[in-house]
Structure 1
Amino acid sequence: MAQQQSNRPSLLDGWRTVPNFVTMGRIALVVVFLIMLGIGGPDGSRGIGARWAAFVLFVLAAISDKLDGYLARKYNKVTELGKLLDPIADKLLVCGALVMLAAFGELNPGGWVITALFLIRELGITIMRFFVIDTGGSVIAANHAGKLKTLFECIGLGMVIFPMWSLVGGNTGFEGFYYWLSYAVVLVALVLCLYSGGVYVAQVKRAGGFGRKA
Structure 2
Amino acid sequence: MTETQTSKKSSLLDGWNAPPNLVTYSRIVLVVVFLVLAALAGPWGADNLTMRWVAAVLFIIAASTDKIDGWMARKYHMVTELGKLMDPIADKLLTCGALILASIFGELGWWVTILFLIREIGITVMRFFVIDTGGKVIAAEWPGKLKTVFQCVGLSMLLLPMWSLDAGQTTPMWMSVYYFLTYAMIYVALVLCLYSGGIYLYNTFAGGKKQQSAGDAEA
Say whether the fold is shared (TM-score over 0.5): yes
Q: Which amino acid aligns with 1:124?
A: G
Q: Which structure's relative contact order is higher, taking Cα pairs within 8 Å and 6+ residues apart?
A: 1
Partner residue, 1:212:
none
Deviations 1:122-156 (A, max 9, x none): 11112112211332235444333222211111100
CA distance in 1, matches of 2:21, 2:180: 37
1:1-214 mapped onto 2 (5 Å cutoff): 11-107=12-108, 111-169=109-167, 171-205=171-205, 206-207=207-208
**CA 1:142–1:89 in 2, change beyond 3 Å: closer, same or farther?**
farther
CA distance in 2, matches of 1:148, 1:86: 18
CA distance in 1, matches of 2:39, 2:182: 20
Q: Which amino acid aligns with 2:146?
A: L
Contact 1:83-1:139 at 8 Å conserved across structures: no
Partner residue, 1:211:
none
CA distance in 2, matches of 1:54, 1:137: 39
CA distance in 2, matches of 1:169, 1:17: 49
**CA 1:127–1:42 in 2, change beyond 3 Å: closer, same or farther?**
same
SS in 2 for 1:65: coil
CA RMSD after TM alignment: 2.2
Deviations 1:140-191 (A, max 9, x none): 4433322221111110000000110112346222111111110000011101
CA distance in 2, matches of 1:73, 1:83: 11
Calculate the TM-score normalised by the size of structure 2.
0.82
Structure richer in helix, relative to its length: 2
SS in 1 for 2:91: helix
- Of structures 1 and 2, the larger Rg is shown by 2
**CA 1:201–1:66 in 2, change beyond 3 Å: closer, same or farther?**
same
Q: Which amino acid aligns with 1:199?
A: I
Calculate the TM-score normalised by the size of structure 1.
0.83
Query: How many angstroms does 1:104 deviate by?
Result: 1.1
Query: How many angstroms does 1:207 deviate by?
Result: 4.2
Q: Which amino acid aligns with 2:33?
A: V
Contact 1:80-1:138 at 8 Å conserved across structures: no
